[in-house]
């Protein structure tokens, strides 16, 4: 691994292919790849290329990017064959389970979910 990749988040390293990951979608703004520790039969992470640590760290300038992530999550769900039966989750901070501090959306599907989550 190059020295330039040392300051990258885990997700940046996957997007840049510095480390392996199963990428299922990518464009100029984001990438989507399979979670290595899935919480459902379908568990895809949608990650912006821009390294925003948490949702609360996004700026007003990121509004279009945030919308793009949501639309991409819906597209990925359709591409994965789950149609409109999926859940999106964004963890914001360690206290609620965020372990990689690079904003990401979890696309979860393929099993029954309970409400409230947690």
- Confidence (pTM): 0.92
Cβ 43 vs Cβ 104: under 8 Å: no
State the number of CA atoms in the 13 A half-sphere of 118 facing the CB: 4
pLDDT of amino acid 80: 96
Active site residue 104: yes
- φ and ψ at residue 50, rounded to 5 degrees: -70, 125
Sequence ranges of the domains in the chain: 3-109
Is the confidence at residue 31, as pLDDT, over 60?
Answer: yes
**Active-site residue, selected from the candidate residues 29, 68, 102, 104:** 104
CATH homologous superfamily of 3-109 equals: HIT-like (3.30.428.10)
- List, for residues 55-112, the tens digit of each pLDDT value: 999 999 999 999 999 999 999 999 999 989 999 999 999 999 999 999 999 999 999 9
């Amino acid at each position: 691994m190059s020295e330039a990749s040392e300051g990258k988040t885990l997700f940046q390293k996957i997007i840049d292919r510095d480390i392996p990951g199963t990428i299922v979608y990518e464009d100029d703004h984001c990438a989507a790849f399979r979670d290595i520790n899935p919480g459902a039969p379908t568990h895809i992470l949608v990650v912006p290329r821009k390294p925003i640590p948490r949702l609360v760290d996004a700026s007003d300038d990121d509004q279009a990017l945030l919308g793009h992530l949501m639309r991409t999550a819906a597209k990925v769900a359709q591409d994965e064959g789950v149609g409109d039966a999926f859940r999106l989750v964004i963890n914001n901070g360690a206290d609620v389970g965020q372990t990689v501090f690079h904003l990401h959306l979890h696309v979860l599907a393929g099993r029954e979910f309970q409400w409230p989550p947690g």
